[in-house]
């Protein structure tokens, strides 16, 4: 897959990346990541495609737009004692990779998992993609 195309008043906007920690989405109007700019956007588990479009439209109207940052990604509880929590930090939409890290587990550092992210991706799909990374036996 490539960037996520969304129709805006300026034409098609392409979402190349989401960054849940910095609360931005990387958007271009050419479809080329090299032309993309960070757009302030607080993505939550219940974000809709229309909310993303509205966020891009707000940024078009006010390029100095800011959003209240929460400083962390999407935190999920795994229910597995050896890897109790994970933080999904973003998505590379151009390469179908979800970025995350384990919290309070034996592994540190950022990881990436194959995941085709869309504006309709559900929390359950995100959680299942992370759980699939657990070593067998938890």
Query: Distance between CA 60 and CA 54 in Å, rounded?
Result: 10
Give strand pairing partners of 111: 100
**Per-residue model confidence (pLDDT) at position 13:** 97
Residue 126 dihedral angles phi and psi, to the nearest 5°: -65, -45
Q: Kindly state the tokens that stand for 86.
A: 């994970």
Q: Where do the DSSP E strands lie in 37-128?
A: 37-40, 74-77, 85-92, 97-103, 110-114
Asked whether 130 and 114 are in contact (CB, 8 A), the reply is no
Checking if the pLDDT of 123 tops 70, the result is yes
Cβ–Cβ < 8 Å for 13, 58: no
Judged by average pLDDT, the poorest of 14-28, 36-50, 100-114 is 100-114
Examine the pLDDT at 101 and tell me if it is beyond 70: yes
Pull the structure tokens for residue 71. Answer: 């400083």
DSSP assignment, residue 4? E
The mean per-residue pLDDT over the stretch 37-45 comes to 87
Tens of pLDDT, residues 42-83: 877 778 899 999 999 999 999 999 888 878 888 888 888 888
CB 23 within 8 A of CB 67: yes
φ and ψ of 35, to 5 deg: -95, 5
Comparing CA positions, the residue from 18, 15, 13 lying closest to residue 60 is 13
């Amino acid at each position: 897959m490539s960037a996520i195309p969304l129709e805006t008043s300026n034409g098609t906007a392409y979402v190349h990346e989401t960054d849940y920690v910095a609360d931005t989405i990387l958007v271009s109007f050419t479809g080329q990541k090299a032309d993309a700019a960070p757009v302030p956007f607080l993505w939550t588990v219940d974000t809709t495609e229309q909310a993303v479009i509205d966020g891009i439209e707000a940024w078009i109207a006010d390029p100095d737009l800011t959003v209240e940052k929460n400083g962390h990604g999407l935190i999920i509880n795994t229910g597995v004692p050896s890897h109790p929590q994970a933080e999904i930090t973003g998505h590379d939409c151009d390469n179908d990779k979800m970025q995350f890290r384990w919290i309070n587990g034996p592994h540190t550092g950022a990881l990436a998992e194959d995941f085709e992210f869309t504006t309709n991706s559900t929390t359950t799909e995100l959680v299942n993609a992370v759980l699939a990374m657990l070593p067998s036996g938890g």
